[in-house]
Amino acid sequence: MHDADKNIELSKYRLSLAAETYRNAKMCFDNKFYRDCINRSYYAVFYGIRAVLALENIDFKRHKDVVAYFNKTYVAFIVSADEAETQLQSVEYMLSFIREYLVKYNVNF
């Protein structure tokens, strides 16, 4: 098997891992395990990033290096206004959820 074929197979495997982890995140959310949902959501995206990097035969030993490389190589160059707006809306939603949660514990803003 050629390196390119191996990279494609590794990418497919990592993408399937991302999809499985996303399904786990959804189950956590549906069962009100929100902390676990956030954790699994993060890792679903992380595995997706590693799927992209596999196509370039790029990998890192440290988690933070994977994220840094992806941000530097991909995010810095492909962000459009629509993508930024979508991300901003996601952050607004998450912060709204966090605020509501904290208010339950008398942590007011």
Give tens-digit pLDDT for 92-101.
Answer: 777 687 677 7
pTM more than 0.75: no
- CB-based burial label for 31 (10 Å; 0-12, 13-18, 19+): exposed
Residue range 37-90, pLDDT digits in tens: 889 988 898 998 899 899 889 999 998 999 899 888 877 666 677 877 787 788
55/58 Cα distance (integer angstroms):
8
